[in-house]
Amino acid sequence: MSELLLEIKNLSIEFHDHALPESVVEDVCLQVNTGEIVGIVGESGSGKSMTAMAIAGLLRRHDMKKSGEIIFQGEELLHAKRSELRKYQGNDISIVFQEPMTSLNPVKRIGWQVEESLRIHRPEMSKEERYQRAIESLRSVELLEPEKVYRQYPHELSGGMRQRVMIASAMICEPKLLIADEPTTALDVTIQLQIVKLLKRLNQEKNTSILFISHDLSLVKRLCDRIVVMQKGRIVETGTPQEIFEQPKEEYTKQLIAAIPRLEKLEV
pLDDT tens per residue, range 219-257: 999 999 999 999 999 999 999 999 999 999 999 999 999
State if pTM tops 0.85. Answer: yes
Per DSSP, helices labelled H in 5-99 are 48-55, 82-85
The per-residue pLDDT for 262 is: 54
pLDDT per position as a tens digit, 178-208: 999 999 887 888 889 999 999 999 999 999 9
As a whole number of angstroms, the distance between CA 24 and CA 189 comes to 30
As a whole number of angstroms, the distance between CA 264 and CA 121 comes to 42
Work out whether strand 93-96 and strand 177-181 pair parallel, antiparallel, or are unpaired. Answer: parallel
Contacts by residues 140-146 (CB-CB < 8 Å, ≥ 24 positions apart): 140/168, 140/171, 140/202, 141/165, 141/167, 141/168, 141/171, 141/198, 141/202, 142/194, 142/198, 143/168
Residue 102 one-letter amino acid:
T
Q: Which domains does the chain have, with CATH numbers?
A: 4-92+176-267 (3.40.50.300), 107-174 (no CATH)
Residues forming beta bridges with residue 67, ordered by sequence position: 12
pLDDT per position as a tens digit, 65-112: 999 999 999 999 999 998 999 999 999 999 998 877 788 999 999 999
